[in-house]
Amino acid sequence: MKLAIIDIGSNSVRLLLATYENNIWYYEPKQLWTTRLGQRNSDGTLRTESMEASYQAFTEIKKLADQYGVECCFGFATSAVREAYNGLEFMEHISEHCPMEWRILTGDEEAIYGFNGALGDQLNDGRHYTTIDIGGGSTELALGNKDGVYWSRSYPVGAVRLQSMSDEGPQRVWEETRFLWDPMMIQGEFGEFIGIGGTLTTLAAIDLGLENYDGTKVQGHKLSRETVEGIILNLRYMSRDERLHVKGLPAGRADIIVAGAEILTSFMDAYEVPHVFVSDQDGMEAMARECERTYSNH
């Protein structure tokens, strides 16, 4: 069975092509289009430019899905679409460019899918884990074990949303978000903090100095609090052109990566987290597994 899973986020639209064969998943490398749906108009609606960029992305995704032989195409939208007055209208229009089933996820759903996608089989050790997913428009935390997620939060802070605040000066994002985080009640033996989403995978790619993004190298990479702070200090005073020469930093994230990294340091300080392990797998893989189960039961 061949699937296409599409994540319609605040910074980018991402595509995961996957094949399920003989009880094994084969995932193609994720592909990404920077559309900036999170930069909305002052009245909260999605901007025409961002919507047009998204429609263009979906036209290309349709071609790629057809070439791959996709039988089921499923899209899910997160905070940018969730909060926009014209979000529903935008999603209905997308299907004209790429026919698919779609859902607009709540913040809690987004947190739970991210947790399930990142941790999968790792939960068999019986320990409890927390995932942090710093997106363009929101940040999700989920805490759980093999029985599922029992605590989750979605906060309206993201790399696109807080970019202008970050540009105001060092510590602005940290100060703004430092007391945002709710107490986390861990109900058993704790494993690790796992970081997912574009901010985290980009920080890992920068730390690894990857010329080209490679999810297999990013998977499981350990990022310490000091490393993240070092990346922030290194990038903060660079011009955009200088940032474009940093290995591991894609053009579509050059202007927002510092804001995203500052949200991460605020989180790490609030919960006294010395390091996070980065996962290249996230809610997209969880969504693929759910689609496969739904269709095999029909």
| DSSP assignment string, 197-258 | SHHHHHHHHHHHT-SS--HHHHTT-EEEHHHHHHHHHHHHTS-HHHHTTSTT--GGGTTTHH
Q: 3-class SS at 62?
A: helix
| Cα–Cα distance for residue pair 107/296, rounded to 1 Å | 28
Numbers of helices and strands, H then E, in the chain: 12, 12
| Cα–Cα distance for residue pair 180/61, rounded to 1 Å | 37
**What residues in the chain have per-residue pLDDT under 70?**
298
| Cα–Cα distance for residue pair 136/36, rounded to 1 Å | 8
Tell me what pLDDT residue 298 has: 66
Tell me what pLDDT residue 297 has: 75
Which one-letter amino acid corresponds to residue 44? G
Of 101, 60, 113, 106, nearest in space to 81 by CA: 106
| Cα–Cα distance for residue pair 166/263, rounded to 1 Å | 10
| Cα–Cα distance for residue pair 23/46, rounded to 1 Å | 40
Tell me what pLDDT residue 44 has: 94
Of 156, 141, 148, 145, nearest in space to 110 by CA: 141
Instruction: Report whether 110 contacts 140 (CB < 8 A).
Output: yes
Residue 270 CA neighbour count, 13 Å, CB half? 18
Note the pLDDT tens digit of each residue in 93-119.
999 999 999 999 999 999 999 999 999
Instruction: Report whether 248 contacts 207 (CB < 8 A).
Output: yes
Question: Which H, E and C letters describe 146-191, residue by residue?
Answer: CCEEEEEEEECCCCCCCHHHHHCCCCHHHHHHCCCCCCCCCCCCEE
| Cα–Cα distance for residue pair 133/208, rounded to 1 Å | 20
Tell me what pLDDT residue 294 has: 81
Tell me what pLDDT residue 120 has: 87
Note the pLDDT tens digit of each residue in 261-298.
999 999 999 999 999 999 999 999 999 999 888 877 76
Instruction: Report whether 17 contacts 4 (CB < 8 A).
Output: yes
